[in-house]
Amino acid sequence: MKYPLDERIEALIHDTAILDPAAGPVVVGLSGGPDSVALLSVLTTLGYECIAAHANFHLRGDESNRDASFARRMALRLGAAFVATDFDIAAFRRENGGSLEMACRTTRYAWMREIARERGAQAIAVGHHRDDNVETVLLNLTRGTGIAGLTGMGLRRDDIARPLLNSSRKEILDYLKARRIDFVTDSTNGGNDYVRNRLRNIAIPAMTQAVASAKDGIMTTAAQLDETSRFYRLAVARAIEECSDADGRIDLRALARRWPDSAPLIIYEHLRADGISRSAASDIMTASSGSHFDGSAYTYSVSPDGKLTRRERSRRAIPDFPFAITVHPIEEFAPERNDAVAYFDVAVLDRNLTSRTWRRGDRMHPFGMRGSKLLSDLFVEARIDAGDRPAVSLLLADDEIIFAGGVRASSRYTVGPLTRRFVRVECLNNPPRS
């Protein structure tokens, strides 16, 4: 039986094509909370093959283990496959830095992308809803993220789908009540230790008390800004195109003549994805011939005729390696379904990279798992015969194994939201499998 929320989500998916019933399974992030449970219920009711993915960060003691057990039972009840993992988030933060929220988000999404790759999933679906989106817009407003941040989350961006994004928290709770489906509650959501929680528990209720339609107004503004943002990006692209030659060199003098007040902003918007700052963009517009500016993937130079040229600075040659290593801008990140390929943040290149073959007792921190594991155990899981194991090529960063070629990558130096450039590593001599 379909409930009203099922029917509304079905219509939304049909109208927006954020998912395709015939395109393969969907990885569903399942925390056990009301939003993720409702999402899994809706998608299974609509006939999608779902893989429920639960990440246990062990941050709330027994409550974390309770959530993991509940998620497993709920996946079984709703007819979904279930996968789970444990994360040592403290170790991840020691290695990569960042806030607790960011670390959890980074590892969780990276792990779900790995599952999607392995299972041939069409997308990762998460339970963000309208109230979450309101919080996101306000949070980005306080951070000064500009137009892009004020558009909020999208129904589908890259591999992440949000079928519940136009539904309210109340609608979700009413749906679960009607279907008599249980959920668990994260006790930390009631506290105000995090900025998002303070917005949810203090700021937004005060706003809606003052202006009853505040949430609707914020979402209307976000939608309008999304339209503005698309037009803005198109205008920037056209300005760059009009001032570029056949080789892609940007005529800085022509750009300054046509848009004297906006030229630095246009350069910034064009190059910021490569890590060029606003101040650097202004410097580019006034730079003398021969000046150089380093982005994440390219070096930009000003020629004698006032043209901005670029050359790739994204390759690192390492002789006598059984690995091909290249560096790319994050915009090109599209993980392959290939055990011979691993991906890392560019920070890994700051380490001493070496290669050797397997030795008894070797351990690594496998991606998606908590703690370390013997490589011999990973070989068994990968169906690599004992006689072939000494030939497995290992990539090490400062003597720590980060990739067993053709077998498994490490959880170290993972690609995350703060990554500007990523490293693609391909093993050139993969071990046979039984």
- What's the CATH code of the domain at 329? 3.50.40.10
Q: Is the pLDDT of residue 296 over 80?
A: no
What are the tokens at 8?
Answer: 């509304």
Q: What does pLDDT average to over the chain? A: 87
Asked whether residue 256 is assigned to any structural domain, the reply reads: yes
At 167, the amino acid letter reads: S
Q: Is the pLDDT of residue 274 over 80?
A: no
Percent of the chain with pLDDT over 90: 41
The angle formed by the CA atoms of residues 328, 238 and 221, to the nearest 5 degrees, is: 90
76-90 pLDDT per residue, tens? 999 999 999 988 888
Using pLDDT thresholds of 50, 70 and 90, give the confidence band for residue 95: low
- The verdict on 117 and 152 lying in the same domain is yes
Mean pLDDT of 207-221: 89
Mean pLDDT of 328-336: 82
379-400 pLDDT per residue, tens? 888 888 887 888 889 999 888 9
- The verdict on 330 and 306 lying in the same domain is no
Residue 170: the pLDDT is 94
Residue 357: the pLDDT is 87
Using pLDDT thresholds of 50, 70 and 90, give the confidence band for residue 20: very high
Domain's final residue, options 264, 288, 312: 312
Asked whether residue 414 is assigned to any structural domain, the reply reads: yes
Place of tokens 């982005």: 295
Using pLDDT thresholds of 50, 70 and 90, give the confidence band for residue 319: very low
Asked whether residue 239 is assigned to any structural domain, the reply reads: no
> 144: Cβ–Cβ under 8 A, 6 or more apart, which residues?
none
Could you tell me which residue, 417 or 235, shows the higher pLDDT?
A: 235
- The verdict on 308 and 327 lying in the same domain is no
- The verdict on 58 and 10 lying in the same domain is yes
Which neighbouring-strand residues pair with 342? 425
Mean pLDDT of 198-209: 88
Q: Is the pLDDT of residue 321 over 70?
A: no
pTM: 0.66
What are the tokens at 316?
Answer: 């690192």
Cα–Cα dist 414/434, whole Å: 29
> What is the domain range of residue 255?
249-312
Domain's final residue, options 175, 197, 216: 216
Residue 267: the pLDDT is 94
96-135 pLDDT per residue, tens? 666 777 788 888 988 998 898 888 899 999 999 999 999 8
Using pLDDT thresholds of 50, 70 and 90, give the confidence band for residue 315: very low
Asked whether residue 134 is assigned to any structural domain, the reply reads: yes
When divided into structural domains, the chain yields a total of 3
- The verdict on 269 and 416 lying in the same domain is no
Residue 309: the pLDDT is 93
Tally Cβ neighbours within 10 Å of residue 182.
Answer: 12
173-191 pLDDT per residue, tens? 999 999 999 999 887 776 7
Cα–Cα dist 126/155, whole Å: 10
> Would you call 309 helix, strand, or coil by DSSP?
strand
Place of tokens 């600075």: 313
Using pLDDT thresholds of 50, 70 and 90, give the confidence band for residue 314: very low
Using pLDDT thresholds of 50, 70 and 90, give the confidence band for residue 316: very low
- The verdict on 283 and 329 lying in the same domain is no
Residue 196: the pLDDT is 81
- The verdict on 363 and 400 lying in the same domain is yes
- The verdict on 165 and 263 lying in the same domain is no
Asked whether residue 94 is assigned to any structural domain, the reply reads: yes
Mean pLDDT of 28-45: 96
Using pLDDT thresholds of 50, 70 and 90, give the confidence band for residue 53: very high
- The verdict on 124 and 211 lying in the same domain is yes
Residue 318: the pLDDT is 44
Domain's final residue, options 199, 216, 233: 216
- The verdict on 274 and 423 lying in the same domain is no
Asked whether residue 348 is assigned to any structural domain, the reply reads: yes
Classify residue 409 by its DSSP letter. Answer: E
- The verdict on 355 and 298 lying in the same domain is no
What CATH number has the domain bearing residue 104?
A: 3.40.50.620
Q: Quick one: which of 247, 246, 248, 305 has its CA closest to 271?
A: 248
Mean pLDDT of 346-363: 85
Task: Return the axis-axis angle of helices 130-143 and 214-242, rounded to nearest 10°.
Answer: 60
- Asked if residues 149 and 143 have their Cβ atoms less than 8 Å apart, the reply is yes
Residue 98: the pLDDT is 67
Residue 194: the pLDDT is 73
Residue 184: the pLDDT is 92
Cα–Cα dist 278/174, whole Å: 47
Cα–Cα dist 405/390, whole Å: 12
Asked whether residue 98 is assigned to any structural domain, the reply reads: yes
Asked whether residue 226 is assigned to any structural domain, the reply reads: no
Q: Is the pLDDT of residue 412 over 80?
A: yes
Classify residue 366 by its DSSP letter. Answer: B
Percent of the chain with pLDDT over 70: 95
- The verdict on 128 and 182 lying in the same domain is yes
